[in-house]
Amino acid sequence: MTRLVPFIVSLAATLLFLATQLFAQDVLTGRIIYDETVKMDIQLPPGMESMKDQIPSSRTTQRMLLVRGDELLMRDAPEPEDAEEESGDIVMSGGGATFVMRVGGGGGEAVERIRHTSLADMTAVEQRDFMGRAFLITEEVHEPAWQLTSEQSMYEGYLTMKATTVIDSTNVVAWFTPEIPVSGGPGTYGGLPGLILVLDVDDGKRTYAARSIELGVSLPDGEWVRPDDGKKVTRAEYNKIVEEKMKEMGAQRRGGGTVIFGNSNN
């Protein structure tokens, strides 16, 4: 096994090099639709425990990764024609407090969540909503210290390889394919010798799974929309705003009042 892992690493690098040469004459474009599933784990205050059954255990939405050469754009995927509307708020009252949980895509959000990444200069700009406020986050892209394993699997017709890492004490498992020479993936994740098709964050608390993979497609201007709306902040500044708001919401829970939980945007 010890000798096999370096061989797998070498094989992945070789496949990525060969694939890159094949696409060298043309700019690689792609459209990948992911199912993003987030487990809901909301701690209700005393007096509201009986209402926990009203809260869904998980929520799945579709996210779209667009690829244009060394640029990546992650945004909401178009709603399927046969999709059931998942809208409306869940309102619960008890223990002197009222909880309102946003359910459904885009309800009450100030802007669409869009992230643009430049692999050329390793920078990213992310447009996102938090509690009805729009933010524009700029940051450098840092590649995780991935550990490649010898595990392989076929997924959607592509050979995938397993890699693991730990980010801020959080376990992350990725299945990537060297057959698609893009060092990216869903959300903020990338840095592997091939596109990430399946991702598990924090032991299943958040997962991504590619459900549609299109390569060599035309990306219209209306689809490729770079983020440009919101208050400009750094990642550290944004995290501080979120932390302070969460503390305020905790105080509201203890003292009564209305607390609103929006969609998770991590």
Q: What φ, ψ does residue 144 adopt, rounded to 5°?
A: -65, 160
* Choice among 33-42, 75-84, 121-130 with the minimum mean pLDDT: 75-84
pLDDT, position 106? 47
When comparing pLDDT for 249 and 60, which is higher?
Answer: 60
Residue 18 covered by a domain: yes
Give yes or no for a contact between 119 and 215, defined as CB atoms under 8 angstroms apart.
no
Judge whether residue 71 has pLDDT over 90.
Answer: yes
Number of H helices, E strands in the chain: 2, 15
Total domains, the chain? 1
Give dist(CA 168, CA 94) in Å, integer. 35
Residue 212 covered by a domain: yes
pTM of the model: 0.78
Query: In which band, very low, low, confident or very high, does the pLDDT at 158 lie, cut at 50, 70 and 90?
Result: very high
Distances (CA, A) of 98 to 160, 249, 256: 46, 12, 7
Percent of the chain with pLDDT over 90: 59
Give the H/E segment covering residue 219.
Answer: none
Residue 101 covered by a domain: yes
Instruction: Tell me the average pLDDT across 143-172.
Output: 97
The backbone region for 47, taken as left when phi is positive above 0, alpha when psi lies in -120 to 50, beta otherwise, is: left
Beta bridge partners of 257: 97
Look at residue 134 and give its three-state secondary structure.
strand
Query: What CATH code is carried by the domain that includes residue 138?
Result: 2.50.20.10
Residue 113 covered by a domain: yes
Give dist(CA 233, CA 218) in Å, integer. 32
Closest CA to 161 of 3, 2, 10: 10
Residue 248 covered by a domain: yes
Place of tokens 């599933």: 37
When comparing pLDDT for 165 and 256, which is higher?
Answer: 165
pLDDT, position 264? 44
Judge whether residue 251 has pLDDT over 70.
Answer: no
Cα dihedral: 51, 57, 62, 65 (round 10): 120
Residue 27 covered by a domain: yes
Residue 266 covered by a domain: no
Domain of 66?
4-261
